[in-house]
């Protein structure tokens, strides 16, 4: 049975009242494929736009998104994030001139429930911000492989391997 459904199949918030507060960390990733025209502009580092520096703005947006996760996803518990980091790394250009950018969000708290939704939201919002800021150059931007890499501190720890 899904955790967010009651016995009658209706949406329900998971009761975490009996759980113990533990240190919880989650890390998620989103891959953004930049088309050649945009990749060329970003190849030597960040570029300034009317909306601000692209990567720096995406980092701020990702952190802001992680902090608002419970407002965006129904039934998600509001958590006091103690730390949230967004890292953006460009991979070497592909043969066609496109470049993959890996956005990693790490969220951390002491709480009764995990922070994987905050990490996933942070990575996704940062990726959407790259799309928003880059679409003036090209709409051929692709966001792919949004996934949880690891979570620790709860009933079960999870570690996966990033996509190649």
Phi-psi bin for 16: left (phi > 0), alpha (psi -120 to 50), beta? alpha
d(CA 69, CA 121): 6
Catalytic residue among 6, 46, 83, 132: 132
Backbone φ, ψ for residue 91 (5° rounding): -90, 165
Backbone φ, ψ for residue 154 (5° rounding): -110, -155
132 is catalytic: yes
d(CA 68, CA 119): 11
Tell me the catalytic residues: 132
């Amino acid at each position: 049975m899904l955790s967010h459904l009651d016995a009658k199949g209706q949406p329900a918030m998971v009761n975490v009242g009996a759980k113990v507060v533990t240190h919880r960390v989650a890390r998620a990733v989103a891959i953004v494929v930049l088309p050649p025209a945009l990749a060329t502009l970003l190849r030597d580092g960040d570029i300034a736009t009317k909306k601000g520096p692209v990567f720096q703005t995406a980092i701020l947006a990702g952190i802001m998104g992680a902090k608002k996760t419970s407002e965006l996803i129904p039934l998600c518990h509001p958590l006091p994030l103690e730390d949230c980091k967004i890292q953006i790394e460009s991979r070497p250009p592909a043969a066609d001139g496109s470049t993959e950018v890996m956005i990693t969000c790490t969220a951390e708290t002491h709480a009764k429930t995990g922070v994987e939704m905050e990490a996933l939201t942070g990575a996704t919002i940062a990726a959407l911000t790259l799309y928003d800021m880059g679409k003036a150059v090209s709409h051929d931007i692709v966001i792919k492989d949004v996934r949880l890499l690891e979570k620790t501190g709860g009933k079960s720890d999870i570690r996966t391997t990033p996509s190649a």
